[in-house]
Structure 1
Amino acid sequence: MTNELLSLSEPWLQYAIRINLLDQNAGDLAALREEALLDSKIQRSLKIVADYHSTLVTNHKNPDLPIHKLLFLLDLGFDTDVPEIESAVAQLMEHRDKHGVYQSLTNIPKHFGGTGEDGFGWCLCDAPLLLLALIEAGVSYEKHIRQGVDYLVSLEKEQGFLCSVSEEFGTFRGPGRKDDCCPYATLVMLRLLSRIDGYRNSETAIRAIDALLDLWERSRERHPYMFYTGTDFRKLKAPAIWYDIVGVADCLSVFEYARADARFGEMVEIIRSKQDEDGLFTPQSVYQRSKGWDFGQKKTVSPYLSFLCLRILKRCEDRLPQA
Structure 2
Amino acid sequence: MLAHPVVQNLILQAENWPNQPLKRHNDASHPLHVLGVLADFGLKKSDPGISDLVEKITAHSSPQGLLQTLLHVSPRYGGSAEPQWSWMLCDLPLILHALMAFGLNNHPLIQTNLNHLLSLVRDNGWPCACDSAWQGFRGPGRKDDPCPYATLISLRAFSLLPETHTWPEVQAGVDMLLNHWQMRKEKKYYLFGIGSDFGKLKYPLIWYDLLHILTVLSRFENARRDPRLQEMAALLASQKDPNGCFTPTSVWMAWKGWDFAQKKEPSPWLTLLSHRALSAIAHS
TM-score over 0.5 for the alignment?
A: yes
Aligned residues with identical type, % of pairs: 36
CA offsets 1:214-251 (integer angstroms, 9 cap, x no match): 11111111111120111100111112222100001100
Instruction: Give the whole-Å Cα distance in 2 for the aligned partners of 1:162 and 1:124.
Output: 8
Kindly report which structure 2 residues correspond to 1:100-179, keeping only aligned pairs within 5 A, or say none.
Answer: 100-141=65-106, 143-179=108-144
1:318 equivalent in structure 2: 283
For residue 81 of structure 1, report the CA deviation from its aligned partner.
2.5
Amino acid across the alignment from 1:53: P
2:154 equivalent in structure 1: 189
The DSSP-based 3-state class of the residue aligned with 1:105 is strand
For residue 71 of structure 1, report the CA deviation from its aligned partner.
2.3
For residue 76 of structure 1, report the CA deviation from its aligned partner.
1.2
Amino acid across the alignment from 2:228: R
Can you give the 5+ residue segments of structure 1 that lack an aligned partner in the other structure?
A: 1-35
Aligned: 1:255 with 2:232: no
1:33 equivalent in structure 2: none
CA offsets 1:54-102 (integer angstroms, 9 cap, x no match): 1211122123221221221122122223332211111110111133210
TM-score, normalisation: structure 1: 0.84
2:234 equivalent in structure 1: 269
Does the aligned pair in 2 maintain the 1:70–1:85 contact within 8 Å?
Answer: no
The DSSP-based 3-state class of the residue aligned with 2:70 is strand
Instruction: Give the whole-Å Cα distance in 2 for the aligned partners of 1:88 and 1:64.
Output: 17
For residue 282 of structure 1, report the CA deviation from its aligned partner.
0.5
Amino acid across the alignment from 2:169: T
1:304 equivalent in structure 2: 269
Amino acid across the alignment from 2:87: W
1:49 equivalent in structure 2: 14
CA offsets 1:239-290 (integer angstroms, 9 cap, x no match): 2222100001100000001101000000001111111111110111111112
More helix by share: 1
Does the aligned pair in 1 maintain the 2:42–2:101 contact within 8 Å?
Answer: no
- Matching residue within 50, 65, 69 for 1:85: 50
Largest Rg, 1 or 2: 1
CA RMSD of aligned residues (A): 1.4
1:233 equivalent in structure 2: 198
Aligned: 1:287 with 2:227: no
Does the aligned pair in 2 maintain the 1:216–1:229 contact within 8 Å?
Answer: yes
Q: CA 1:292–1:142 in structure 2 vs 1: closer, same or farther (change >3 Å)?
A: closer
Does the aligned pair in 2 maintain the 1:60–1:125 contact within 8 Å?
Answer: yes
Instruction: Give the whole-Å Cα distance in 1 for the aligned partners of 2:198 and 2:19.
Output: 30
